[in-house]
Structure 1
């Protein structure tokens, strides 16, 4: 059984990006092309196509290679084939015919560029009124339809031998999800451009090559540390800046007097600094009560607790670290108590009487 022929829909013409060639595009229909799909890869319902058109749908599409013509009117002619259900909605009787014509024209321009590198100027795109199909030079419409149907039939037979997964995956990767016309116009664009086949960076691109010279990259080479960098340059030029961090004090510019030797040749006598007096305890107060005497002592600066204190007591005196305190009354040596007050830094001795 023969396949039905390709159904003509509409045709439009457009100039190439360089404006030198005129291209005619035939938008046709055939049932071998898949129907419009939703994002979940399910066939779009007929009611959705009638109500919303091609918005948010995946449209399967097939593009023939542009054929160069000898005629003066068009330089190239190509066919773009979609499902018949979309071509039927491009007729004037349908309420969304303008929407379908606009969207299919945009898809045709995008896929002609992707498949064959032929960029068309969207601003010069015009419908060819009075025609539904532009014939190739030397061929009538019936011959072209039969050849297109045979090509589609061969594609269907090849696809039947593959699994379902092999059919779905190419559709997802091939169909364009964003069907927008590009308004940018490139100057002096070639008619057919070669699509890139490889990545920009390939394996082994650094073989027999060096990123830096013999001295390295120099990224970590920083100027030496300057501790006086916070001082402005004009002040550093006019004033003499002395760094006193090494000596710990401000250097004096006055030189010390030179020591003159004695006339008789004896070496000068150097005076030794006086010895520091040993730290001693000081008695702050002596309070005699009816039953005891309270002694408050101020410790040396190096004493901050009871640790290391040597306390000796006799009935008439108390000696602490060499400091002796004489008492006017006899005290009970075994009942003497001592307490160090850290807040006031004092030693409190309570000595009960005998």
Structure 2
């Protein structure tokens, strides 16, 4: 069994993030934390218990990550719709060009029919020096006209369908823009909560904050190492060569900062790390954790092998990569860095083998 020296882990899931998550998250997302002398509306006048601060920070982090994954999904959806719109516009242009050519052909045909239509067809047949040739030409003319009419109907029908589809895509894009505005507003509200949480932390005092962070870090490391000073990833092989390459890529980014919406190569969010790592193995995953949950074969946690994706929480808003020995590598939350983590530190929603 391969035994790795346990690297020093920052606090895992429950509030070793206390100071870093609030300051770093607000900075990364464009929010400046005011000094403690400037009170926020609704700021509590009384000190808040340490456990309450922990619970509030955890909730703020979960809400922020949920919003981030939804925002990532909205961006991906917008890209897809923009691609569909571009394709439809090209199809409409080609259909219009074909329609214009048909109109020109039909115009020429109508002119020929007009020029020859001043005489009764029976009279023309009697007077024509070659009746058989006249009949053959007339039949060919009728057939050509029918083909043109059929083609015209087809192009018109296709253009109607394309116009309808383009209108549908336009409506979806408008809806998507509204969703993005809503998500941006939600993020802004979360940032304000992070600022408030920072004030609550400041109210605990320097000594108490340091003690709280140190306690959480010790507890997190004990969970990840099962109470030892070593990180044991076991000797189970990855499920494939590609999984091995993806895992190696993810491990190579341990220590990289978490940043909302980032897919590397220097910063990552949770699904962005999975996306980047599997790209290094030649596989393009979906962008979000929810979509990555459907990117391969669903297996049980007991069947997990290195390189498999581990999806966390009921709404699947977080994802990590199984590294072996009950440990995942993941980008945890704002203010933290890519690191190893116990798979039991968060509720597992599913495991996916790509």
Name the TM-score, length of structure 1 as normaliser.
0.17
Greater relative contact order (CA < 8 Å, ≥ 6 in sequence): 2
Structure ranking higher in strand proportion: 1
Higher share in helix: 2
Taking structure 2 as the reference length, what is the TM-score of the superposition?
0.17
